[in-house]
Amino acid sequence: MSTDHRVAVVTGAAQGFGRAISIGLARRGVDVVAVDLSASEETLKEVEAAGARGVGLEADVSDPETTGRLAALLDAEFGRCDILVNNAGIYPNKRFSDVDYDLWQRVLHINLDSQFLMAKAVVPLMARGGWGRIINITSNSVALPAPGLSHYMASKMGVIGFTRGLANDVGDSGITVNAVGPTASLTPGGKAHIDPEVIASLSTTQAIKRPGGPDDIVGTVLFLASEDSGWVTGQTIMADGGLARL
């Protein structure tokens, strides 16, 4: 699954899935632009230790101004963009009765609008090179009875719809667009919002009976970022140990 000499943008790269994906790409020869609200210093150290080039961008990916900053950075530093992993997101668990309109908007803005904005930033660069891979992180919760997540599930189902629609629009430019749906996992974000006992309990109903972690979706992302996935687009893969079976 050759990805040598490519340039990737990974959002939410400072920790969790984003950090693991950034390191996985770097180990396969991909230079990484790590985008996060906070500094991605530890991620960048690992990227460079793997022999790839790492560049950090501290930015709010739900802010339209980030689009221009990112496009300018990519053009100046690399002159290209080949891979986008839209990973940034939030996971506030609240019953519908406690979800106000501000929270509803915030969740959709960060989890869904950001993916649109980041795609707008990189698609022209990908089209210019005639090759691109966009991987949007959704969630297996859209296929599960998960209370307290109506706002989150709406945003993540929107990611699936956006993935399918964007795949139609950019396929002729040599760009594929797919989504990956992890389960509730032992990431820093997961631990902050989900009782670890709940994660452990969920794992007992999976085909692979152990809690998931950041490294467990990396292989799926790497495949979708590679040459070998060139005939796969508009798809959603649940990388969740066999919990959601669609």
- Residues that are catalytic: 152
Residues 4 and 28: beta-carbon distance below 8 Å: yes
SS (H, E, C) the chain: CCCCCCEEEEECCCCHHHHHHHHHHHCCCCEEEEEECCCCHHHHHHHHHCCCCEEEEECCCCCHHHHHHHHHHHHHHCCCCCEEEECCCCCCCCCHHHCCHHHHHHHHHHHHHHHHHHHHHHHHHHHHHCCEEEEEECCHHHHCCCCCCHHHHHHHHHHHHHHHHHHHHHHHHCEEEEEEEECCECCHHHHHHCCHHHHHHHHCCCCCCCCECHHHHHHHHHHHCCHHHCCCCCCEEEECCCCCCC
Residues 241 and 206: beta-carbon distance below 8 Å: yes
SS (H, E, C) 20-39: HHHHHHHCCCCEEEEEECCC
